Amino acid sequence: MGLERLREELQRTGIPVEHLAPEKKRVYLVGGCIRDALLGRHIVDFDFVVEDSGINYAEDLARKVGGRFVPLKLDEGRVVYKRSLVLDFSGLGTRKIEDDLRDRDFTINAMAVELQDLLHARWRILDPCSGMEDLSSKVIRTVAEDSLVKDPVRLLRAFRFASELDFVIEGNTMNALKLHRDLIRGVAGERISYELKLILQSDASWKQVDEMGEVSLLVTLFPELREMDTLLPEIELLTHSIASLRELEGLLSGTRESIDRLKPWSASYFHWKHRKPLLKLATLLHDIGKPNTLSSDKKGRVHFYGHDMLGEKLLHPILKERLRLSNAEVEAITRLVRYHMRPHLLGREEELTPRAMRRFFADLEEEWVGVLLLAYADALASENGDVSNLESLITQLVEFKEETEKKGKVERLIDGSDLIGELQLEPGPIFRKILERVEEEQLEGKVRTKEEALELVREMLKQGEG
């Protein structure tokens, strides 16, 4: 039974029982750890509800076991034990445990077990909201009608749990999500991005993203997407973006010969735990610049020239100010969007030159794997789904990358100090452009000495390239 494993996990923490569950005070395990134990999932941390004051209880426990006490909001405290184990405590005050459970977000998170019962193998679950029934039926249901109003981040948490657990959000809850969708505007950006990244971590998050679109929560979070959905009747850009996300997730979990060639590089690319959700978010937003770049030629063909560059510009304030993402996260997403058309353009070239391939890797840096995956998914989700050019491109790029890695990096003929000392240039972004050009000429055998490199730079400056 799940509760047996929960007891084992609790005992494995090494915290003495007499400190954790004194006989004279009622202490309850609640929420996610009960849910995950019953589902046989890995238990990440433990949430407790105690009689009287939660913050006093947590502070006293931290002192007894040598843990670190962290005060949280209101009457809530946290104990961090042996650096990684997290135990959160909230107080009941004058309320009963059933009152606390009825104040929670979803029925599957509104169950509790009294700690003394658990430790003495009395398998009794307090379940006033029928959470076990919904757990068995794989359903996400709000505890009460005003659940979403009490904490609007729950609008996203509904989709997060559906995504993580592969559950279905029941009809009345979906209606409530649509009714209260505007409340998400008042939620802090950090909380929104945290939930979004958790949603996108799952292998088939496109389903929840699509449902977020159905209840208009997606366009409430990103009003820019509304323009994509209403631009032209025959061009369903938002539908295409969600389809691109679906195809990307298929690529990440499935097998394609050309994509398999990326696997040796994908392992290091996805080593950063946020890489996958960031790539997915970039895929969802990759065409955000299209509504403002719409044009048509004399034959009536529609074009979106420059939508990749405009998309990068539009995304900066969205990611940084609205979602409060880190600089590294913003850089990753905007670079993917800025260059998502490059593979399509290179794939149409009759001959792929070494210089073009070097430029590709120099511009993308570590995001080269991600942009190839994004472009491939983008092509699969297009009207004809033709990826033949991209398959050939990936093969050539990977072979070039492998050969380049074998040769190792060339020793630079000049560096920034030479540009300052020899040419009296002021340090700035121009240095990178100059040094990359010199390296390209060096790799092609056109520049072999320091003097030749400096002469190349002088010529570049004379022609206004620097």
pLDDT tens digits, residue range 194-227?
A: 999 999 999 999 999 999 999 999 999 999 998 8
Q: Where are the beta strands (DSSP E) in 92-204?
A: 112-114, 139-140, 168-169
Q: What is the mean pLDDT of each run of 10 residues along the chain (466 residues)?
A: 83 82 85 93 90 90 92 89 89 92 96 89 92 97 94 97 96 97 96 97 96 96 86 78 95 77 88 94 96 85 90 96 96 97 93 91 93 96 88 92 77 83 81 80 79 83 73
- How far apart CA 254 and CA 9 sit, in angstroms, is 34
- How far apart CA 82 and CA 67 sit, in angstroms, is 7
Residue range 233-407 forms a domain whose CATH class is: mainly alpha
> Residues spanned by CATH 3.30.460.10 within the chain?
2-137
Whole-model pTM: value is 0.85
* Topology of the domain comprising 2-137: Beta Polymerase; domain 2 (3.30.460)
Q: Helix or strand or coil: residue 12?
A: helix
Q: Are 286 and 378 in contact (CB under 8 A)?
A: yes
Q: Helix or strand or coil: residue 73?
A: coil
Number of alpha carbons in the 13 Å side-chain half-sphere of residue 180: 24
Cβ contacts of 257-261, under 8 Å, gap ≥ 24: 257/391, 258/376, 258/387, 258/390, 258/391, 258/394, 258/395, 259/373, 259/376, 259/394, 261/394, 261/395, 261/398
Residue range 139-221 forms a domain whose CATH class is: mainly alpha
> Residues spanned by CATH 1.10.3210 within the chain?
233-407
> Residues spanned by CATH 1.10.110.30 within the chain?
139-221
Q: Are 217 and 293 in contact (CB under 8 A)?
A: no
Of the candidates 424, 439, 437, the residue with the CA atom closest to the CA atom of residue 463: 437
pLDDT tens digits, residue range 344-366?
A: 999 999 889 988 998 999 899 99
pLDDT tens digits, residue range 43-100?
A: 888 999 998 889 999 999 999 999 999 998 888 999 999 878 899 999 998 899 999 9
User: What is the pLDDT, as a whole number, of residue 233?
Assistant: 62
